[in-house]
Structure 1
Amino acid sequence: MSPSTSRPTTVTAAFWILIVGLILDLITTIVLITTGIALAGGAVEVEVDGASFGGGVMIATGVILIVILLIELLVLRKMRAGRNWARIVITVLEVLGILSLLGGVSTLGIIAAIISVVVIVLLWVRQSNDYFRASA
């Protein structure tokens, strides 16, 4: 990227919207892990959609989610730095999130889908395209 090419507001806004989402995902993951720790001490299980989960499964899932969140953070940082591959990865993940609504619609799902559309638009408007092209 040349020194004269500055990051457009569209890319910065998309980055911070996605960071807020990452923080919310991290909070959810911490709750999952702490719940798992609390359940691991006893024979209690949590039932979700007909499937039972013990504390160990919840802890393991939380640890895997933390690894995924760290990878997402790396991809976000690369996107912010102008890497087009990272923009494409984020776009694919956001589209998959929108498509997940096909499994069932909820108010939070609709809000998440709207946010995903906003992020996709921000990443693909002319200013963003110019930035990613110049960064190549």
Structure 2
Amino acid sequence: MHEPETPQSNPATKNTYFDFTDYEFRMPQSWPKSFSAIKPSFRGGIGQIFQTSHMPMDARIGYWVWLIGCVLGILSWIFAVTAILFAIVFSPATLLMTGMVSFFGEVRWGVVLVYIGTMVISLLIILLQLLLTLKLRTGTEWARMALTGLTVIGIVYSIILTSADLESGGASTVVTGILSLLLISFFWMPKANAWFLQGNDHESLP
């Protein structure tokens, strides 16, 4: 007597966005050799930076998070500088509290230069992150690696400033660092990684 076939249970379908089977890691095959190769092109108009339908979902999420984060970072920097300038103009005691001026009214140029330097470096890091984020829209492999490295450098830089009491941070610095690493991981997820490895670096995208 022929026994009825027992239906085989289908294996659970893997989520392709979290399937690290055959995951490939490699260093970028090429690096930019001129500034024109670094800066993003806007030949299709500034509006093309909002067109991300060609990107895999994980890379798209990472792109939007970083784009918005960089814009907010620039606005926060402007607000911070403006607040400091207003505080100095309307409350000269701010200079004393920040250590830029001694109790006897002498300007401590070393402290002033350190504060100016930290603000300039912070702005440069944000602007570089924005530039690299815009390059990621075209699948630029070296931009992904550069943004990852710059993020790590930014985290270390913030920790150093906090340790030197040049920037208030503490636990928030650690949280911000962990969050930054989580956000950069969007570009290293399996589908996003495969997309970058395809060599999609071109500016003629829609």
* TM-score, structure 1 normalization: 0.69
Q: CA deviation at 1:82?
A: 0.5
Whole-Å separation in 1 of the counterparts to 2:89 and 2:152: 36
In the alignment, does 2:149 pair up with 1:92?
Answer: yes
Comparing 61-70 with 113-122, greater Cα deviation is found at 61-70
Comparing 118-127 with 75-84, greater Cα deviation is found at 118-127
Gap runs ≥5 in structure 1: none
For residues 4-43 of structure 1, the aligned pairs below 5 Å read 6-38=54-86, 39-40=88-89, 43=92
Comparing 84-93 with 24-33, greater Cα deviation is found at 24-33
RMSD between aligned residues: 3.4
Work out which of the two has the higher radius of gyration on C-alpha atoms and give 1 or 2: 2
Equivalent residue number for residue 170 of structure 2? 106
In the alignment, does 2:118 pair up with 1:70?
Answer: no
Gap runs ≥5 in structure 2: 1-52, 102-106, 164-168, 202-206
Rate the CA distance shift 1:65–1:46 in 2: closer, same or farther, 3 A: farther
Identity %: 24
Tell me if structure 2 keeps the 8 A contact 1:37–1:59. Answer: no
Equivalent residue number for residue 184 of structure 2? 120
Whole-Å separation in 1 of the counterparts to 2:196 and 2:159: 32
Whole-Å separation in 2 of the counterparts to 1:98 and 1:61: 14
AA matched with 2:170: S
CA offsets 1:2-21 (integer angstroms, 9 cap, x no match):
xxx93111111111222232
Q: CA deviation at 1:63?
A: 6.4
Other structure's SS at 1:13 match? helix
Equivalent residue number for residue 82 of structure 1? 139
Tell me if structure 2 keeps the 8 A contact 1:101–1:109. Answer: yes
Whole-Å separation in 1 of the counterparts to 2:74 and 2:144: 21
CA offsets 1:74-124 (integer angstroms, 9 cap, x no match):
211101221011101111022224445754572322321222221232111
Whole-Å separation in 2 of the counterparts to 1:107 and 1:90: 24
Rate the CA distance shift 1:84–1:47 in 2: closer, same or farther, 3 A: farther
Question: Which structure has the highest helix share of the two?
Answer: 1
Q: CA deviation at 1:65?
A: 5.0
Other structure's SS at 2:58 match? helix
Q: CA deviation at 1:46?
A: 5.9
Rate the CA distance shift 1:46–1:65 in 2: closer, same or farther, 3 A: farther
Question: Which structure has the highest strand share of the two?
Answer: 1
